């Protein structure tokens, strides 16, 4: 009985890990925005190429990540 519970818990943990990894994979076919959704400034081509699917300039993205980090605390 105990081994079944441990096995099920291990399977769930593996599922969660795989889902987390999949959520963070970069979609290389994603289309990047040409202008930032927050400030409206043009997103440099180098950023659009290196971060496929980006919607924010680097500065606004940094601000957004800081806001998200603070919400989790």
Residues of the domain holding 57: 2-72
pLDDT (tens digit per residue) in 22-45: 877 777 788 999 999 999 999 999
Share the mean pLDDT of the chain.
Answer: 91
**Interatomic CA distance for residues 62 and 50, integer angstroms:** 16
Residue 26 pLDDT: 73
What is the pLDDT confidence band of residue 73, given thresholds at 50, 70 and 90?
Answer: low
User: What is the C-alpha to C-alpha distance for residues 27 and 31, in angstroms, rounded to an integer?
Assistant: 9
Count of domains for the chain:
1
CB 20, CB 13: distance < 8 Å: no
Three-state DSSP class for residue 42: strand
- HSE, side-chain direction, 13 A CA sphere, residue 8: 5
**Distance between CA atoms of residues 21 and 12, nearest Å:** 14
């Amino acid at each position: 009985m105990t081994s079944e519970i441990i096995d099920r818990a291990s399977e769930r943990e593996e599922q969660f890990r795989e889902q987390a990894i999949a959520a963070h994979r970069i979609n290389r076919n994603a289309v990047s925005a040409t202008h930032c959704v927050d400030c409206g400034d043009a997103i440099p081509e180098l950023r659009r190429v290196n971060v496929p699917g980006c919607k924010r300039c680097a500065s606004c993205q940094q601000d957004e990540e800081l806001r998200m980090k603070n919400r989790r605390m």
